[in-house]
Structure 1
């Protein structure tokens, strides 16, 4: 994944959300001071989690698609990822907490019921053995055993939505059955990337695609079958964690189309600008969003309890369908050689389906009547378009890489703020190597930059006589002319 050198992505299109959601997003941004895309995608992911079990979307070409979204946002430590996630998704976490307590009580009751059931089973088998030994009839006992086997207590299932650290087998156990709806979500992506859930792109891709069946075969467990499962992924991750994953599995993730199924972004940091102008402890807009989330959670729970999983299919109206077809053709043309989307054809090929999912989420969450309108579709297009440009910036091999000039500016800024501004006129070269810009913390990368800066007269190198260390001297004429803020 490429880094975003000297580039600030445009503001997230928050105004593309319906007004009720837009105002809630701005309220969270105003109170928490998190980056715009971090907050907005938290709302998107929350909507995906609570809607995916209840609806599907019918594309204008007739294909039925899930509405589940995959979201990946890069954000460094201190961007208030945890606070944002907990505030926006509060009803889901509360639902899970209640569900865990209920599951524990049901599990304890199950253990008691199953123990009694096993005792009765043993007793019936004992009577059958005795009858066989004595040459008596076992027909009635056989019928009794058959009926008993049919009455085996059913092991309770956890109704928890949010999952983070689980093996592939554990995930399949969670999804086993009909129409299970869960989320792989974490404000600390390291937990997800190291937990085993990200190891097999093929299985995860099938889940996103809405496979009718997911089958997991193991000698120890037998076949685990999940029918029409729905999985939302929402990961907030630091650069270093994602870089390690990319080095190990990035080629497979990109080549398999795994990343193409994600709405990715690396919003501009808000750190250093999170000033508080007033204190207002009351949430004015967010409660309405939370109320709708709770309503949809209750609808899904009721459907699961009924034992009948039947999702509503959301369709496009004629105007939206016509524009959908037009955009498919425009996008396809832009994949041609030398066109804008050629280097990210993997995401471009999924973009219109993702847009359809976002449109269906906005439509259903806001209780819109009838079919998806052109207005809703245009809102979804604006949201996905922002992520399309981010995908190109972060994944395209043609995206701008750091030039020598950009690297020199990065080192110069580091020296200016950490040394010159505090009255220090030289720095240990090894100190800069250890503490300087992250991407230049290797001798092979830093040395050419230092030598180029020395050649231009910005700095000079010398050896400290007492410590024998190589030092970087800051040339006064040059650093006095700098105007970094």
Structure 2
């Protein structure tokens, strides 16, 4: 879509460049004349009037759709959303480019996280500059979709000193932390066609081709989607059920920053479902919200698991990972006894195969009563507490 829009805009871009060159030449000529008159101590009233009038004739920025950004800095995002296309997304399967960028250094991370939060909220952001053009982001929308390795995210947390979560930046994300499927992915031939994916892509293409409501100042002015009465009742029930668990001692107390935005995210997702299925116009239906609320609740569950483990010291986190691997192995092989050599050869993640790391993790599990270490001669075994295999993880 971006490529086709850029191709179609090439003649307009050339015309705009010519218009800007002509405007800048006129502006430069008038300013030079004013300098000459000022040097000669003569009145430049006529030229000043011409300069003021010329400012009103400055060619408007040409807005060509650009939707996807990779590792753009928050400053670059603001500029592009204000002066270019007012809707975009930072989409990257290598989020180290984002979290490890210069703009996420310790000296600027708080300012830039606040900027991204404001863009997510659709807030107005004024940027004042002394040496270049000032601008204001108004009516823009930003999506962020990132895939990131755990080590990269831990490093970002360490460098940001807790700001990533304290500012509410991470709370705005829908977190998914799937378990690795390595070792369980036998080759299968792909299907001859993907009819559902083809229909999805066609629908997205149709939506992209619709006129975008952009006002004279370059801001988005989308129509407001309301909730049908039964949808609003369901949303209120969903909101209040979550709110009740945010209190001290509640199930969601430890992730209250994330949970407090879950109902908001459910409404956003429901709006997307409504638009995708029925287009603009009409209220958001109950079916759209029910699907959206299930997705939002699933991501909230993932956030609890994610932040619960990520908040642990590295040694305890390793113990949790080893515990999960041992129980999975025991259930799969129908055994509670695993040779240590088997663990050192196959445990994931791979850094647990290092002797010292494995020893520390095993010591944690022994202390908590989840395993016993048995040695007979040179043979070393790990005995899993049978209760864990019968009932699952406690």
Output the TM-score relative to the length of structure 2: 0.74
Residues 335-346 of structure 1 mapped to structure 2, 5 A cutoff: 335-346=246-257
The 5 A counterparts of 1:186-265 are 186-196=92-102, 199=109, 200-211=112-123, 213-221=124-132, 223-249=134-160, 251-265=162-176
Q: Are 1:283 and 2:200 an aligned pair?
A: no
Partner of 1:316: 227
Is 1:381 the equivalent of 2:293?
Answer: yes
Name the counterpart of 1:159.
65
1:183 maps to which residue? 89
CA drift at 1:188: 1.5
Would the alpha carbon gap of residues 305 and 426 (structure 1) be closer, same or farther in structure 2, given more than 3 Å must change?
Answer: same
Structure 2 segments unaligned to the other structure (5+ residues): 330-338, 384-394
1:62-97 CA-to-partner distances (Å, cap 9, x unmatched) read xxxxxxxxxxxxxxxxxxxxxxxxxxxxxxxxx222
Give the aligned partner of residue 53 of structure 2. 147
1:97 alignment counterpart: 3
**Structure 1 equivalent of residue 334 of structure 2:** none
Indicate the SS of the match to 2:171.
Answer: helix
Matches within 5 A, 1:415-426: none
1:368-407 equivalent positions in 2, closer than 5 A:
370-396=282-308, 407=322
TM-score norm. by structure 1 comes to 0.62
Instruction: State whether structure 2 residue 282 is matched by structure 1 residue 365.
Output: no
For the residue of structure 1 that corresponds to 2:126, the secondary structure is strand
What is the number of equivalent residue pairs in this alignment?
A: 360
- Is the aligned partner of 1:330 residue 2:241? yes
Q: Which stretch of the first structure deviates more once superposed, 357-366 or 447-456?
A: 447-456
Q: 1:202 to 1:377 in 2, by over 3 A?
A: same
Q: C-alpha separation between the residues in 1 aligned to 2:182 and 2:200?
A: 27
Could you say what the CA RMSD is over the residues aligned between the two structures, in angstroms? 4.3
1:180 and 1:203 mapped to 2: Cα distance? 15
CA distance in 2, matches of 1:177, 1:259: 27
Structure 1 residues 449 and 306, CA gap change in structure 2 (3 angstroms): closer
Q: Work out whether residues 96 and 161 of structure 1, in 8 Å CA contact, stay in contact via their aligned partners in 2.
A: yes
Residues 386 and 113 of structure 1: is their aligned pair in 2 closer, same or farther, counting only changes over 3 Å?
same
Mean CA deviation greater in 225-234 or 109-118: 109-118
Q: Secondary structure at the match of 1:118?
A: helix
Write the deviation string for residues 108-154 of structure 1: whole angstroms up to 9, x where unpaired: 55444333333334444566677789999866555544433433334
- Aligned partners of 1:366 and 1:182: how far apart in 2? 22
Shift of 1:378: 1.3
Return the structure number with greater relative CO, CA threshold 8 A, min gap 6: 1
Measured against aligned partners, the alpha-carbon deviations of 1:230-284 in whole angstroms (never above 9, x if no partner) come to 1011111222222222222262111222111111011233444444555544332
